[in-house]
Amino acid sequence: MTSDNTAEQVYRTWSTPILLELKKREHQMAPAERLALQTVMIERRLLDTGNPNGKDRRKQSAGHTDKVE
């Protein structure tokens, strides 16, 4: 693992609990702060935004099928 990957992993490990705590207290935040928090949480996939569409949808890899019958 490169130092960049290690730094990213450490950042995510430490910041996730902090972001989740901020989410609990978002009612105390200004509207701009709530929007910024929501944006970060969506980027980090900490919020369930449902089934993604467009460019956010992951393409199915060739040769891999997940058919539900």
Chain-centroid distance of CA 63 in Å reads: 27
Nearest to 56 by CA among 46, 65, 43, 47: 43
Mean pLDDT by runs of 10 across the 69 residues of the chain is 84 87 94 92 78 65 51
Question: In whole angstroms, how large is the CA radius of gyration of the chain?
Answer: 16
Q: Is the pTM of this model over 0.85?
A: no
What pLDDT is recorded for position 69? 46
